[in-house]
Amino acid sequence: MPKLDRYLSAEFARAVLAALVVLGMVSLGGVFADLIGEMASGKVPPTLLLSQLGLRLVGYLPLILPLGLLLGLLLSVGRLYRDSEMHVLTAAGVGPRRLLRPLLLVALPVVALIGACSLWLGPWANQMARGMVIEANKNLLVAGLEPGRFTPMSNGGVAYAGEMSSDGRRLSRIFIFRERGDRMDVATAGSGELYRDQGVRVLALLDGFRVEGPASGADLDYRLMHYKRNEMELPQSDDSSKLDDPEFQPTLALLRNAAAPSRAELHWRIAPVLLALAFALMAVPMARSSPRQSRHGAMLLAFLAYLVGIFMMMLGTRWLAEGKLPVAAGLWWLLLPMLGLGIWLYARDGRVARPRWKR
């Protein structure tokens, strides 16, 4: 490999890696905040925090990596122009088109990683994360209820258990508060047991009291009941996205399925690969600047191009799933023009205009 290619590819790789680290930390914070919210509402067991954090971050990589590649290449190529290195290279006969080889040495491995995450690792991580939550919610102990602590439930209520057996099935000193509209329901019991009835979690309260009445306390319409056994259905976790949905299916299974939702998910997984390649080609002409010119305009323009591409990809996937777009069209109406635009911008970058002769 020529020394120039080694130098340029090393510069590009360092800038791309730095951008990916920063974007990864920001994305990790966002995923962590979403997980904390879901745990507070009882949808995700707290014991699965670290595993869910890692698996969900893998699922977001196909959206993070293209932006990191674009910003990293913009920073590195922009630095070459700012430090007048590109002008020296151009004077030596090395124009912007000569950057294609070191550019591809960095971009192609990142594009291959995006394809692996989008087509294989991402679906596997989503399926694994969802399966772990569903399996964990089968047991009340790992579903969020801890002895000696008030735990919010997904329906807005609060549950408390003073003691709990090791298997999470037997409880003692139970307190449950639920609110439905303008009415409240408070149940207490000395002991209780948890079991499943046709996939539904049921909590049987033994030898307790139940108070039902207005939540505002505007009137005295309260009812007090003493019971020997009171069974109540616990709020179920958010399992609306089942494991047989296209989002959790492997890519090979989507290829064999001609349904519109499956085809939409397939195009959603293919799109980041081509968008990343288009963004890599756009980075060189977008980074062109004079030594004293600010780079913020190019960064904003690049980020705008990324947002437009991602938002149109999301919108097109939704149209495909809803049948508003023909399956044959897929997302090619977006991907091919973006890729063609990147190739055209890179091909014309640095081209010297023909002189115009005046008559």
What region does 181 belong to: left with phi over 0, alpha with psi -120 to 50, or beta? left
| Interatomic CA distance for residues 1 and 105, integer angstroms | 11
pLDDT at 217: 67
Summarised one tens digit per residue, pLDDT across range 156-192 is 678 888 888 776 678 888 888 888 777 888 889 988 8
Reported as a single tens digit per residue, the pLDDT across 208-264 is 998 888 877 667 778 888 888 888 776 555 554 466 788 888 888 888 888 888 899
Label residue 295 by pLDDT band (50, 70, 90).
low
Strands 170-180 and 158-164, bridge-based pairing: antiparallel
Amino acid making up residue 144: G
* pLDDT tens for each residue of 90-129: 777 777 777 888 899 999 999 999 999 999 999 999 889 8
Handedness of CA 100, 101, 107, 111 (dihedral sign): positive
What span, in angstroms and rounded, lies between the C-alpha atoms of 189 and 184? 17
- Both tokens of residue 176? 């449950």
Residue 192 corresponds to which tokens in the numbers above? 């209780």
What whole-number distance in Å separates Cα of residue 114 and Cα of residue 195?
A: 44
Q: Write out the E strands in 57-199.
A: 151-152, 158-164, 170-180, 183-197
For the beta sheet containing 170-180, the strands, ordered from the edge strand earlier in sequence to the opposite edge, are: 151-152, 158-164, 170-180, 183-197, 200-214, 223-233
Per the structure block, which two tokens stand in for 86? 């590109």
Q: Is the pLDDT of residue 141 over 80?
A: no
Q: With contact defined as beta carbons under 8 Å apart, do 275 and 267 qualify?
A: no
Q: How far apart are CA 264 and CA 331, in angstroms?
A: 8
Q: Contact, 40 vs 152, CB < 8 A? A: yes
Ranges of each domain in the chain: 3-136+242-348, 143-233
CB atoms within 10 A of CB 252: 9
Q: What is the dihedral of CA 288, 290, 291, 296, to 10 degrees?
A: -60
Residue range 169-179, pLDDT digits in tens: 788 888 888 88
